[in-house]
Structure 1
Amino acid sequence: MMNTFLALSDHDLEGELNKPNALRLYPPRGVSDAYDIEILWAPFDFVNRDARIVIVGVTPGPNQARRSYKAVRMAVAKGEDPQADLERIKAEASFRGDVIEPNLKSILEHGGLAEGAGIEDIDNLWTKEASKVHFTSTIRYPTFINGELFNNQIDSLEHPELRKYVETCLAAELASVPADAAIVALGQKGPRIVRHAAKAAGINPRRVVALPHPSGSATGAVRDFLSKNRTRSIRPCRCMLCDRTRIPKGWDLSNRFQMHDLTHGKGRARDAR
């Protein structure tokens, strides 16, 4: 698929994001899907076999796909082999965005998972610390349903093709990382699916840790998690409610301060705004 992608113009590539064709992995040409499921190839094949933590979302979105395509084109423009740089390309594209990044950093910090994985600086999650992380999804490649991003609108384990991705791609990825690596499943429906993949891989499903999804549509769940649960971080927690200097500009979390401080005890939060 890499060669097919490289032959596409930017205009054609944008068309692929709207209606997969040349880069479509499923369904095959001339075949329709009962739920109008479409799976689009993007360079998310790399598996970090040395990861200390695995972060599992639902599926990469269009913005993540664009980032990955851009990273490949930049590598080619520099005369580099993109196949040899899939680790960096995947890290640069996974779970990125103005909302998802601060939310993800906060839940990993607050849950003690960043510290447990040996991530010293959560701000370097996608750069210097990326070697400790394996970013993935229940469905490895960008997936759409009725033209919209797939977000578990149907049970993926009840759909033959989606189930195949869970039981083959995801299970193989989970089996490839060290046995003591944390496995984080994001969202309400994600943990059940990831535990199913773990069982398929012969892994104890109790290794799977459930956290709220850091996307913008689930920001309320993220803030509930940060305010209603005590931090599991032994070091000073760098989530945006424990360290309020880290609240992104323009975000108002003041309605969470009281609950957070009651949960953690007076004086827990630093530099309250």
Structure 2
Amino acid sequence: MKKTIYDYIDSIKKLPIKDKYLKEDILIEDFLVNECDNIKVYYAPHNEYINYKAKIFIVGITPGFQQMSTSIKEARILLEENENIEVIQYKCKVKGRFSGSLRKNIINMLDYIKLNHALNLKSCSELFYEKDYLLHTFSLIPYSVFVKGKNYTGHTPKLINNKFLMSYVYENFLCELNELENVIIIPLGKAVEEVLNKLSEENTINGDNILRGFPHPSGANVNRLIQLEEKKENMMKFIKNKFQ
């Protein structure tokens, strides 16, 4: 069963209110969801709000530490203000989803393949702000995952071959996708796309809705713009066909 903020209210309230949480503040037993070998899974209040009306569904691997820290900070402040839990879940989503430079890169890359034109937007930045009713975001693994204390990237261990991590995909991601109707799925990078292709081959998702070839937008992926250029025409054709 998916963990939610209701399970962690007391633990979040115990945290001091800070501008920024460090690993030693939140990578603690109170937020540990599960572990296996050198893999640790921690709670983050980042993947709980569902936008049922979305047309675009952006899928990452797992919330990184920055997203975890940002969403927990937001939850801590709002709990202090006695905000409604459903509002907290929405605001944590808004604050945490692909925050920082990652969001900027995603926006620029989506604009480059003209998704903004297909949606009648000036820029895909609107998806994260005034037009966020068009967007839903989620992670294959809804919690933050760390391997030997470092952000998990989907490669070591390889996600598609790891039963422990894939269990979260089958138990959480598929349930999330089933709540959405005829969305365009944009996997961020090869590791996510590989898992979605596997699910498509198993006939558990509709592979015709997957935008293939979108590179991982992280600054660490120094070849992302080259990869984007290589796949640009195919992705633009896919988008055009979907919005005809």
The TM tier, using the shorter chain, reads: 0.7 to 0.9
- The aligned amino acid for 2:8 is M
TM-aligned CA deviation for residue 37 of structure 1: 0.7
Matched residue type, 2:15: L
- Conserved? CA contact 1:59–1:143, under 8 Å: yes
Q: CA deviation at 1:82?
A: 3.5
- Give the ranges of 4+ consecutive aligned residues of structure 1 lying more than 6 Å apart after TM superposition: none
Question: In the alignment, which residue of structure 2 is the partner of 1:247?
Answer: none
Shift of 1:78: 3.4
Q: Who is 1:49 aligned against? A: 52
Q: Where does residue 4 of structure 2 map in the other structure?
A: none
SS in 2 for 1:229: helix
Note the 1:69-84 alignment, pairs <5 A: 69-84=72-87
Superposition pairs of residues 198-209 of structure 1, within 5 angstroms: 198=200, 202-209=204-211
SS of structure 1 residue aligned to 2:223 = helix
Q: Is residue 4 of structure 2 the alignment partner of residue 2 of structure 1?
A: no
Aligned-partner Cα distance in 1 for 2:125–2:174:
29
Superposition RMSD in Å? 2.6
Q: Say which SS state the counterpart of residue 33 (structure 2) adopts.
A: strand
Shift of 1:178: 1.1
Amino acid at match of 1:209: L
| Matched residue, 1:215 | 218
Partners of 2:193 and 2:180 in 1: how far apart?
18
State the one-letter code of the partner of 1:164.
Answer: S
| Inter-partner Cα distance in structure 2 for 1:138 and 1:26 | 16
Q: Which amino acid aligns with 2:77?
A: M
Residue aligning to 1:188 = 190
Answering whether residue 21 of structure 2 is matched by residue 22 of structure 1, we say no
Structure having the higher Rg: 1
Q: 1:75 to 1:25 in 2, by over 3 A?
A: same
C-alpha displacement of 1:131:
1.6
User: How far, CA to CA, are the matches of 1:200 and 1:5 in structure 2?
Assistant: 39
Q: Aligned pair in 2 of structure 1 residues 137, 127: CA closer, same or farther (>3 Å)?
A: same
Question: In the alignment, what sits opposite 2:180?
Answer: 177
Assess if the C-alpha contact under 8 Å between 2:116 and 2:124 holds in 1. yes
Between the aligned partners of 1:56 and 1:182, the Cα distance in structure 2 is: 10
Q: Is the 8 A contact 1:20 1:39 kept in 2?
A: no
Q: CA deviation at 1:112?
A: 3.3
Contact 1:110–1:232 (8 Å) recurs in 2: no
1:18 Cα deviation (Å)?
A: 6.6
Correspondence 1:230-245 to 2 at 5 A = 230=233, 232=236
TM-superposed deviation, 1:142: 0.7
1:166-202 C-alpha deviation (Å, 9 max, x unpaired): 11211111111112x1000111221011233456673
1:53–1:117 Cα contact (<8 Å) kept: no
- d(CA) in 2 for partners of 1:75 and 1:10? 10
User: Contact 1:139–1:162 at 8 Å: present in 2 too?
Assistant: yes
Aligned to 1:94: 97
- Which ranges of structure 2 fall in alignment gaps of 5 or more residues? 1-6, 238-244
Paired residue secondary structure (2:28): coil
For the residues of structure 1 that align with 2:114 and 2:216, how far apart are their CA atoms?
A: 16
Gapped regions of structure 1 (runs ≥ 5): 28-32, 234-273
* TM-score w.r.t. length of structure 2: 0.80
Q: Secondary structure at the match of 1:107?
A: helix
Query: Which residue matches 2:135?
Result: 133
* In structure 1, distance between residues paired with 2:175 and 2:120: 24
Q: CA deviation at 1:103?
A: 1.4
Q: Per the alignment, do residues 216 and 113 of structure 1 end up closer, same or farther by CA in structure 2, a change over 3 Å counting?
A: same
3-state secondary structure, aligned to 2:128: coil
